[in-house]
Structure 1
Amino acid sequence: MRQESFDFLQKYLNNSSPTGFESEGQKLWLEYVKPYIDEYFVDTYGTVVGVINPQAEYKVVIEAHADEISWFVNYITPEGYIYLKRNGGSDALIAPSKRVNIYTAKGIVKAVFGWPAIHVRKVENDKAPTIETVFLDCGASNREEVEKMGIHVGCVATFEDEFIVMNDRYYVGRALDNRIGGFMIAEVARQLKENGNQLPFGLYIVNSVQEEIGLRGAEMIAHRIKPDVAIITDVTHDTQSPMYDKKNSGDIHCGKGPVIAYGPAVQNNVRDLIIRTAQEKEIPFQRSAVSRATGTDTDAFAYSNAGVASALISLPLKYMHTTVETVHKDDVDNVIKMIYETILKIQDKQDFRYLT
C-alpha cells in the first residue's frame, strides 16, 4: 500500500464516527476522495456521495457505511457514575476496564468502564456484564461535577482504542466495521482517476451513515440517487477462531479473499459478473449464503425504488464489534481490486434483468 493511502487509513480509523454523529469522519473521507471525483453532495443526515460523470443517465453505486457502534449517556447517579444505552450493537461484555471518549460541547471527556475486582465479587455467583450493570467513571465525585464537565443525557461515548498493524499481516482496531469499507471504495475512486479510466456511466461513491441501527443512511440515499446498479462492501465474520459454528456461519477465512454473497437480495447477474471478473483477473474469493437478508446496506439498495440490481462483496473480519476487529491486508487489497475490475466490466445501460 502506498504511504499516502496508509496514512489516510490510519487517520480515518482513529477518528470516532458514532452512528448519528459521523460528520467529522465524513469530512476526513471527503477531503481524501475529492481529487478523484468530479463533484459531490451530502444529504440531510450526513451521507457523502462522490460522483464521477454526474451528467450520465445510467448510474452505478459503490457503497460502504461510515458509522461505528457507540454508547449514549442515559443516567447519571447522584454519586457521579454514568449508565448507558447502546447506539448500535455495542457489547457490554467487553466493556469493563475499557477507556472511552465522551463527546460534549466542551470537548472530549475521558472516562473508563469501571468494574469490581474479582476478589470482592462473589465469583461463584458471577454474572456476565450487561447494559444494566456496566457504568462509566469520569473521575467525578457527584452528578454536579459530571454535569460541569459538559456531560449530559444524550452525550455519545466511544471506545478509545486505536489502529495498529499486527505482525505486518493484519490491520487491527475498532470500527473497521465499516470504515475500512469507506477506505476501500475511496481507493477504487483513486485508482480510476490515476489510471485514466473513462467510464461510460455515472459512478457514485457512497459513504452512508446509520447502518448500525438498520441501514437507515443507505435507505435514504438510495431513494435520492435512484441507481441502476449497486455494489456494496461490508465486513463478514471470519469463522476460524474458537466459538464459531461453521454449519451455521459458513467456512470463511481471513486471508483467502473477498466473500461474494448469495441470497435473494443479491442480483444473480451482477454477482456472476463479479465472479467472472475475479476468475479472469485471478482474484481469490470465497462464497457465503445469506438467506433471507444480507444484514447489510445491500438490502436497502436492492429493495429501493423499483428494485436496484445489487451485489455484496464482504471483507472477512475477526472479532466484530470489539476494539480489536482484525482483517488481513491481502483481503483489503483484493476487495479493492475486485470492485475496481468489476466497475471496468460494466457497460453503459447494461440490462441485468433475468427476463427481457
Structure 2
Amino acid sequence: MNKDSKEFLFKYLNNASPTGFEAEGQKLWLDYIRPYIDDYISDTYGSLVGVINPEAKYKVVIEAHADEISWFVNYITDQGYIYVIRNGGSDHQIAPSKKVNLHTKKGIVKGVFGWPAIHVRKEKEDAPTLKNIFVDVGASSKEEVENMGIHPGTVITFDDELMELNEKYLVGRALDNRIGGFMIAQVARKIKENKIDLPFGLYVVNAVQEEIGLRGAEMIAHKIKPDVAIVTDVTHDTNSPMYDKITSGDISCGKGPTVCYGPAVQNNLLDMIIGVAEKKEIPFQRRASSRSTGTDTDAFAYSNEGVASALISIPLKYMHTTVEMCAYDDLEQTIDLIYETVVQLPSGHDFRYIK
C-alpha cells in the first residue's frame, strides 16, 4: 500500500461517521476519490456515488456503507449524568470505562461511560444493560450539561483510533464498514492508474444508514437503477474464541475475501467472481446465508425489477467493538478481487438464469 493510500485509510477510519451523521466522512471520501472519477452523485440523506462513464446505459455498482454504530443521548439527570439509546447495533456490555466523543453544534465534548468499582457491585444485578450504563461529561447538573450543547438526540461515538498490530492487522472501531469505503475507492484508483477503459458506467457507491436497516442503499439503488451490483462488507472471523462454526461457518482472517451464497446472491454473477478468483489465483473463502445476507446486497438485489447482486466480504474479528480487526492481506486481496471482476465484465452482460 502506497503512502498516500495509507494516509487516507487512517484519516478516513479515524473520522467519526455515526449513522445519520455521515457527512464529514463522506466529504473526506469524495475528496480522495475525485481524481479517479468523471462525476459524482449525492442524495438527500448523504450517500455518495463516484461515477466513471456516466453516459453509459449499462450500469455496474460496487458498494460499501459509510456509517458506524453509535449512541444517542436519551435522558439527562438533574445531577448531569447522561443515559443513552442505541444508534445501530452498539454493544452495551463493552461500554463501561470507554472514552467517548459527544458531537454537538459547539464541537466535540469529551466524556466517559462511568462504572462503579468491582468491590461495590452485585454480580447479577449490576451487569451492564441499556438501563444502567451512563455517560459522565464532568458536569454536576443538567444545566451544565445543556450549556455544553448536549441535548437528547446528541450523537455519541467511542474515542478510539486505528492502529497496526504485529504489522499484519489493522485494529480500530468502525472497520465495519468504513474499510469497505476504502476498498472501493482503491478499486476506482486502480482503474484510473492502469488506464482501463471500461465499456460500461461504473458507480462507486458509499451508502449511508446501513446499520439501521440498509436504508441508504435502498434509496440510492432506486436512483441509479443498476444492472449489476457487487457489494462489499465485513463478515465474522469464526476461528476467534467463542464462535460456533456449526452455526456460523468456518472463516478466518488472513485466508482471503469471503464470497456469500444465499437467495439474494445471483448465482451467475457469483460464479463469475469465483472464476475470476481462480484464474487470478486470489484466495477466497465461502459462507452461506440462510435468508437475507444482512448487508446492502439485499437492498440492491430486490430493488427496481431485480438487480444481479453479489457479496464479497472481508473477514473481521470482534465486530461492533472498538477493536475490530482485519488482516492487511485480506484487504489487498479483496480490492484485487473486486477490481479483477469489474475489469473483465463485458458491457450488457445478461445474468438471467432463463433466456
Percentage of pairs with the same residue: 71
Residue 16 of structure 1 is matched in structure 2 by: 16
Task: Give the unaligned 5+ runs of structure 1.
Answer: none
Q: Which runs of 4+ in 1 moved over 4 A?
A: none
CA deviations on 1:201-238 (whole Å, 9 max, x unpaired) are 00000000000000000000000000000000000000
TM, length-normalised to structure 1 = 0.99
- The aligned runs of 1:90-129 (5 Å cut-off) are 90-123=90-123, 125-129=124-128
Task: Spell out, residue by residue over 1:279-325, the C-alpha distance to the aligned partner (whole angstroms, 9 max, x if none).
Answer: 00000000000111000000000000000000000000000000000
Question: Within 1, Cα distance between the matches of 2:232 and 2:127?
Answer: 33
Q: CA deviation at 1:338?
A: 0.1
Equivalent position amino acid for 2:341 in 1: T
- Render the CA deviation track for 1:236-277: whole Å, top value 9, x for unaligned: 000011110000000000000000000000000000000000
Q: Structure 2 unaligned segments of length 5 or more: list them.
A: none
Q: What is the aligned partner in structure 2 of residue 32 from structure 1?
A: 32
Q: Could you say what the CA RMSD is over the residues aligned between the two structures, in angstroms? A: 0.6
| CA-to-aligned-CA distance 1:47-90 (integer Å, 9 cap, x gap) | 00000000000000000000000000000000000000100000
Match of 2:44 in 1: 44
Task: Quote the residue 2:3 is aligned against.
Answer: 3
**Which residues in structure 2 correspond to 1:79-158 (within 5 Å)?**
79-123=79-123, 125-158=124-157
1:1-356 equivalences in 2 (<5 Å):
1-123=1-123, 125-356=124-355
- Equivalent position SS for 1:178: helix
Whole-Å Cα distance in 2 between the matches of residues 267 and 345 of structure 1?
18
The CA distance in 1 between the partners of 2:137 and 2:269, in whole Å, is: 50
TM-score (norm 2): 0.99
User: How far apart in 1 are the matches of 2:144 and 2:282?
Assistant: 56
Matched residue type, 1:135: F
| 3-state SS in 1 of match to 2:140 | coil
SS of the residue 2:109 aligns to: strand
> How far apart, CA to CA, are the structure 1 residues paired with 2:175 and 2:347?
33
Distance across 2 between alignment mates of 1:241 and 1:81: 36
- Residues of 2 paired with 1:292 and 1:122: CA distance? 41
Deviation at 1:126, TM superposition (A): 4.7
Cα distance, 1:128 vs. partner? Answer: 2.5
CA distance in 2, matches of 1:128, 1:304: 42
**Matched positions, count:** 355
- CA offsets per residue over residues 115-149 of structure 1, 9 Å max, x none? 000011123x3542111110000000010000010
